[in-house]
């Protein structure tokens, strides 16, 4: 159990984290909109947005590591946090095969990026070590926690007849405790922790923007 004042818990209870989870798009993805269920294309289209985001994080991590950036990025310089964009692409390739012909027109092109996705990728590309630490922590913790539920719900949306490999989410399974402990034990100063929480506000807002943009584009 994480202490109430731990860094991971403070990220989790960020009001914008809750706002992102309660956008119409995410409520549907979580099967919380009664008869308004997620479609296979909703899942694939969201994964398509993850490609440029995770590639940008991987590239920037490599750049800052080569520059000898501060060592708190080291917790992400190892498996399973490396090269996860490849897992996203593999999952997309598999899921696309399971989208019925009559729903194919709702699939976004594989290189389609929403404005919010472009904003996130651009922020990552220019990130200093503290910004990148925040982005990596928010996304990786999300994949460890909510992502595990989403992985199961994605399978529910596709149906048992289409078993998903779910490489992306499975790569983060059973990592919550170890990653949470590493984030909480970074020995950041109070000022650094406050900076990280401020950066997370902006990053959560970009997620809210993305989910709103995706909702607006559904079936259009």
Given this model, what pLDDT does residue 2 score?
Answer: 58
Q: Would you say 46 and 214 are in contact if contact means Cβ atoms under 8 Å apart?
A: yes
- What would you report as the CA-atom Rg of the chain, rounded to the nearest whole angstrom? 17
pLDDT digits (tens, 9 = 90+) for 55-100: 999 999 999 998 876 678 999 999 999 999 999 999 999 999 999 9
The predicted pLDDT at position 123 comes to 99
Contact (Cβ atoms closer than 8 angstroms) between residue 130 and residue 196: yes
User: pTM for this structure?
Assistant: 0.94
Question: Within the chain, which residues score under 70 in pLDDT?
Answer: 1-2, 4, 69-70
What are the structural domain ranges in the chain? 37-219
Quick: pLDDT tens for 183-202: 999 999 999 999 999 999 99
Q: What is the CATH number of domain 37-219?
A: 1.20.910.10
Distances (CA, A) of 95 to 22, 90, 166, 170: 25, 9, 9, 15
């Amino acid at each position: 159990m994480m202490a109430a004042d731990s860094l991971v818990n403070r990220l989790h209870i960020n009001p914008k984290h809750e706002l992102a989870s309660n956008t119409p798009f995410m409520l549907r993805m979580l099967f919380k909109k009664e008869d308004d269920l997620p479609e296979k294309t909703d899942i694939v289209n969201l994964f398509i947005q993850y490609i440029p985001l995770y590639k940008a994080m991987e590239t920037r991590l490599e750049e800052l590591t080569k520059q000898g950036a501060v060592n708190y990025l080291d917790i992400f310089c190892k498996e399973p946090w490396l090269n996860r964009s490849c897992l996203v692409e593999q999952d997309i390739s598999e899921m696309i095969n399971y989208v019925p012909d009559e729903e194919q027109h709702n699939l976004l092109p594989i290189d389609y990026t929403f404005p919010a996705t472009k904003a996130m990728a651009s922020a990552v590309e220019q990130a200093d070590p503290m910004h990148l630490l925040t982005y990596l922590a928010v996304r990786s913790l999300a994949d460890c926690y909510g992502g595990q539920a989403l992985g199961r719900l994605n399978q529910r949306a596709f149906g048992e007849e289409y078993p998903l490999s779910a490489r992306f989410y499975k790569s983060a399974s059973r990592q919550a405790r170890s990653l949470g402990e590493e984030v909480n034990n970074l020995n950041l100063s109070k000022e650094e922790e406050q900076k990280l929480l401020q950066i997370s506000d902006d990053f959560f807002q970009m997620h809210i923007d993305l989910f709103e943009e995706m909702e607006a584009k559904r079936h259009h």
